[in-house]
Amino acid sequence: MHDNNAGNNIVNNEEINFTENTAAEYSADQIEVLEGLDPVRKRPGMYISSTSIRGLHQLVHEIMDNAVDEALAGICTDIFITIHADNSVTVSDNGRGIPVGMHKTKGVSALQLVYSTLHAGGKFGGDNSGYKVSGGLHGVGAAVVNALSTECIVTVKREGKIHQIKFSRGDLVSPLAIIGDSDETGTTVHFKPDPEVFEDIVFDFDTLKQRVRETAFLTKGLSLTLKDERQDPEMERTYLYKGGISEFVEHVNKNKTPIFDKIFYTEAVREDIHVEVALQYNENFTETTYSFVNNINTIDGGTHMVGFRAALTKTINDYGRKFGLLKENDKNLSGDDVREGLTAVISIKIQEPQFESQTKVKLGNSIARTAVESVMNEYFKYFLEENPAIGKSIIDKALLASRAREAAKKARDLVLRKSALEGNRLPGKLADCTEKDPAKCEIFLVEGDSAGGSAIGARTSKTQAILGLRGKPLNVEKARFDKILENEEIRAMITAIGVGIKDDFDIAKLRYHKIIIMADADVDGEHIRTLLLTFIYRFMPQLIDDGYVYIAQPPLFKIEHRRQIKYAYSNDEYQRLIKEYPPDARPTVSRYKGLGEMNKEQLWETTMDPERRVLKKVTIDSHFEADDIFTRLMGEKVEPRREFIEEYAATVRELDF
Ligand code: 0RA
């Protein structure tokens, strides 16, 4: 496919000394003690994202990230992660081993300090003496994991010996001791999440797998193996990408059609920031750019993205002018023009990342903008000049995008003028609610006019709005922007939801804090849900990130016995409920094929009543996985869709995007 390692390749040979080991003088004394672990157990939510399954997985990430930091220091080459049958986890690396020496004044080992205090030491301190790079919980990850585990055993091979220490819920149960000899080095951490803390203690292999693979892409040459001993036969996957983020781009474009084979890749250090960029264009219209800071996915971008975008636009325009591909009376290509069909990965490593908010990740350091911009300006220019055919194909694509954008703008102006003329900006088929506070309002996007009608009859009109949608919604994955805007149902959704789309998106204008997709519980309904989710994901992804999008769950069965009605929302629930009746009972069972089969009372009590309904919240664990799923499932190519369906045929009803 691409050859980013041969001949006139694009990798510059600037010396990379960022990850050089500066921990040589590291000693146990450089770790400062701040406080014990009680606060973590009292308020786990302050230290991990949540105590749900997301927080559970974060424990693995924290321990894994520590081992990856050791790899970034240039020492560790292999990391093994094992999920055991009892849902405990072992993470082991072949790095130098966590220091076991005694701290001069505290009288305990560095290892014990790292695991039992919310310290500000070593790599976490600002004195540059330990690691240069760390993301996550500013280095307190190990202690947090320890505090939230019923059992935590750390084994270190170092200085010819095997050392081991054991904790339970953060308390020392077995002090650091030498348990054997070894001429190897490395750290092994075994922990079992505390069921008193976590709502769910069963790890999901696929979720962990995604993160492990992402980490492998971001750390070229590091081998990460994930093993699941709960499965039979044992499941094991090893991820090792010599090409790093180039292979990441290749992977993202795997089910798209690249417009040229080569992948641009550059790696350089500027302002003490390690910058890596890889990119390639494909025939689609959407942009897929992932940015990372110290291996953390900055889903809201930030300064590094700003620098990247500025340089991309400038370099392409300069190139187009210099080689006459943009004519004198052509306007400059806009940022949107040059990003259509772009797949890019930007990964930087910076000493003290500043994030703008706690929950969402957006980089704030302004120096990162300068660093990425300067690296891109220099090396992407070389790339275009050395590959004129590629340069021309990029300019041609951007020119097409520019023309389509002009056409779309005209179409949109027309739409706006039309709705201005109509006086009422809200679509006619929206049965709006009367409440004005968006936080109290919800909108149901309902499949089919007749179901829309029942929903209008069933709703609480103060807080619940209904938008009935006619026919199958448009597949935005396969349509051009101007065509999408011409679609009446799409326009109705845009105006009703209120936030605008893409660049005009403004979350402050959101009119409902719950956007609920309500479709039949059958395959057709599944298709409609997917089409609507594709639209929301591509045009208003922040609605999903911020947790405003839900899926209504109509029941599959009604079970009636002596005027007592029960509803079952899945086949399993049906089996369970039916067994609860005495053997001689003969309950009447009806299977609902669609929303239309319920009368308005039934629709209300099973699916719409906030007190009784069960909504599924739509969440995205990994944008990179979500993009892949939408591309495969909804995109132009047939083969990836077939593979997807085969892969998920058994589980597709359980899919969470
Ligand atoms: C600080 C200093 C040194 C190693 C480590 C931390 C270290 C931490 C972790 C966490 C997981 N695996 C790890 N491996 C190593 C090196 C001290 C020295 O030998 O000079």
**Which of 66, 61, 121, 119 shows the shortest CA–CA distance to 97?**
66
pLDDT band at 655 (very low <50, low <70, confident <90, very high): very low
Six-digit token string for 57: 């997985």
The model's confidence at residue 72, banded by pLDDT at 50, 70 and 90, is confident
Residue 128's pLDDT is 35
- pLDDT confidence of 629, banded at 50, 70, 90? confident
**pLDDT above 90 (res 56):** yes
**Verdict on whether the full-model pTM lies above 0.85:** no
Contacts of residue 100, defined as CB under 8 A and 6 or more positions apart, other chains included, come to 109, 110, 111, 156, 158, 159, 163, 176
Q: Rounded to the nearest 5 degrees, what angle is found at the Cα of 92, between the Cα atoms of 88 and 96?
A: 150
Bridge partner list, 188 = 92, 155
Q: Is the peptide bond before 233 cis (omega within 30 degrees of 0)?
A: yes
Cβ-contact 398, 336 below 8 angstroms:
no
Average pLDDT over residues 608-621: 91
Q: Please give the pLDDT value at position 360.
A: 61
Instruction: Please give the distance, rounded to the nearest whole angstrom, from the Cα atom of residue 61 to the centre of ligand 1.
Output: 17
Average pLDDT over residues 198-210: 94
Q: Give the model's confidence band at 410: pLDDT under 50 very low, under 70 low, under 90 confident, else very high.
A: confident
Q: Residue whose CA is closest, atom 10 of ligand 1?
A: 66
Residue 594 has what pLDDT?
A: 80
**Where does residue 576 fall: left (phi above 0), alpha (psi -120 to 50 degrees), or beta otherwise?**
alpha
517-570: pLDDT as tens digits? 999 888 888 889 999 999 999 999 999 999 999 999 999 899 999 888 899 988
Residue pair 633/530 in contact by the 8 Å Cβ criterion: yes
Cα 477 to Cα 467: distance, rounded to the nearest angstrom: 22
130 CB within 6 A, ligand 1: yes
What percentage of residues in the chain have a pLDDT greater than 90?
Answer: 60
Element (H, E) at 319: helix 303-322
Q: What band does 125 get if pLDDT is binned at 50, 70 and 90?
A: very low
Pocket flag, ligand 1, residue 98 (CB < 6 Å): yes
Cα angle for residues 294, 61, 547 (degrees, 5° grid) = 90
**H helix or E strand, kind and range, residue 290:** strand 288-293
Distance between CA atoms of residues 71 and 67, nearest Å: 6
Report which secondary-structure segment, H or E, holds 590: strand 588-591
Phi-psi region at 272: left, alpha or beta (left = phi > 0; alpha = psi -120 to 50): left
279 bridge partner residues: 264, 344
Nearest CA to ligand 1 atom 14: 97
Q: DSSP H helical segments within 340-386, as ranges?
A: 366-386
Residue among 25, 62, 68, 70 whose CB has most ligand 1 atoms within 8 A, to mutate: 70
Average pLDDT over the chain, rounded to whole?
Answer: 86
Distance between CA atoms of residues 214 and 245, nearest Å? 9
Distance CA 585, CA 208 (A): 46
362-390 per-position pLDDT tens digit: 899 999 999 999 999 999 999 999 999 99
How confident is the model at residue 632, as a pLDDT?
A: 87
Q: Could you tell me if the CB of 444 is within 6 A of ligand 1? A: no
For residue 16, how far is its CA from the centre of ligand 1 (angstroms)? 21
187 Cβ inside 6 Å of ligand 1: yes
Q: Is 141 in the pocket of ligand 1 (CB under 6 A)?
A: no
Distance 295 CA to ligand 1 centre (A): 18
Beta bridge partners of 346: 277, 291
Instruction: Please name which of 329, 44, 369, 89 lies closest in space to residue 208, comparing C-alpha atoms.
Output: 89
Q: Which residues are catalytic?
A: 447, 520, 522, 524
* 8, pLDDT greater than 50: no
Element (H, E) at 207: helix 205-218
- Does residue 188 register a pLDDT over 90? yes
Q: Residue 98 Cα, ligand 1 centroid: separation in angstroms?
A: 4
Q: For ligand 1, is residue 70 a contact (CB within 6 Å)? A: yes
Give the number of the atom of ligand 1 that is nearest the alpha carbon of residue 63.
Answer: 11
The answer to whether 179 and 151 are in contact (CB under 8 A) is no
Residues 6 or more apart whose CB falls under 8 angstroms from that of 376 comprise 266, 277, 307, 308, 311, 312, 315
Side by side, which strands form the sheet with 588-591? 564-568, 557-561, 588-591
Cα 71 to middle of ligand 1, angstroms: 10
Token pair recorded at residue 467: 């938008």
Please tell me if the CB atom of residue 99 comes closer than 6 angstroms to any atom of ligand 1: yes
- Grouping H, G, I as helix, E, B as strand and the rest as coil, residue 267 is strand
What's the confidence (pLDDT) of residue 407? 80
Name the residue of 66, 94, 145, 152 to mutate for ligand 1: max ligand atoms within 8 A of Cβ: 66
Range 628-643 average pLDDT: 86
Separation of CA 330 and ligand 1 centre (Å): 56
Residue 48 phi, psi dihedral angles, 5° rounding: -125, 165
Protein residue with least CA distance to atom 7, ligand 1: 98
The residue whose CA is least distant from atom 11 of ligand 1 is 67
Closest by Cα among 96, 92, 99, 91 to 75:
96
Q: Residues 430, 531, 427, CA angle at the centre, nearest 5°? A: 15
What pLDDT was estimated at residue 408?
77
Average pLDDT over residues 322-330: 91
Most confidently modeled of 9-18, 142-151, 485-494?
142-151
For atom 6 of ligand 1, the residue with the nearest CA is 98
